[in-house]
């Protein structure tokens, strides 16, 4: 008799937990259905706010890249005054041995404008890529 009594007690507890979970599920479902219009409206408002924010960011990006940067490049950046001769030169700076030493005595290096290869001073064509230097 004890075994059947314990079994009945376990069945009652299981049934109680089952009923409580069903009532909780029904209550949550009722609350969701009762407030469903508010949930939908809130979701739609969030979606609209995200679209407005994304549109504003896109408009700012377009304004910067299509209007402000070209304006700055055309109006504010001054073109170089000197005319390019087609080659780049870099002077080696060495400390002067005496005050009488001139700037012409400093050796100069010449580089190809196409590939950046160091070329001799008197070369007319780059020995690396073959582009005409003068």
The full DSSP string for 33-95 is: HHTHHHHHHHHHHHHHHHHHHHHHHHHHHHHIIIIIHHHIIIIISPPPSSPP-SSEEEEPP--
The predicted structure's pLDDT at residue 61: 93
Q: Which DSSP string corresponds to 101-125?
A: --GGGS-EEEE-TTT--EE-TT-SB
pLDDT computed for residue 46 by the predictor: 96
Q: Among positive and negative, which fits the CA dihedral 45, 48, 49, 50?
A: positive
The widest CA-to-CA distance across the chain, in whole angstroms, is 124
Q: What pLDDT does residue 69 have? A: 85
Q: What is the pTM of this model?
A: 0.35
CB-CB contact of 109 with 119 (8 Å): no
Question: What pLDDT digit, counting tens, does each position of 27-60 carry?
Answer: 999 998 899 899 899 999 999 999 999 999 999 9
Instruction: Quote the tokens at residue 18.
Output: 């089952």
Cβ–Cβ under 8 Å, residues 90 and 118: no
Predicted confidence (pLDDT) per residue in 70-118, tens digit:
887 777 665 554 455 555 555 555 665 665 555 555 566 788 888 888 8
């Amino acid at each position: 008799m004890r075994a059947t009594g314990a079994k009945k007690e376990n069945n009652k507890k299981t049934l109680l937990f089952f009923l409580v979970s069903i009532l909780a599920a029904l209550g949550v479902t009722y609350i969701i259905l009762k407030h469903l219009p508010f949930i939908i409206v809130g979701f739609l408002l969030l979606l609209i706010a995200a679209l407005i924010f994304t549109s504003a960011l896109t408009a700012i990006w377009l304004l910067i890249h299509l209007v402000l940067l070209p304006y700055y490049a055309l109006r504010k950046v001054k073109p170089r005054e000197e005319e390019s001769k087609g080659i780049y030169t870099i002077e080696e700076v060495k400390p002067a041995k005496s005050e009488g030493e001139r700037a012409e005595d400093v050796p100069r290096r010449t580089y190809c404008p196409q590939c950046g290869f160091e070329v001799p001073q008197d070369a007319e064509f780059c020995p690396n890529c073959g582009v005409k230097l003068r």
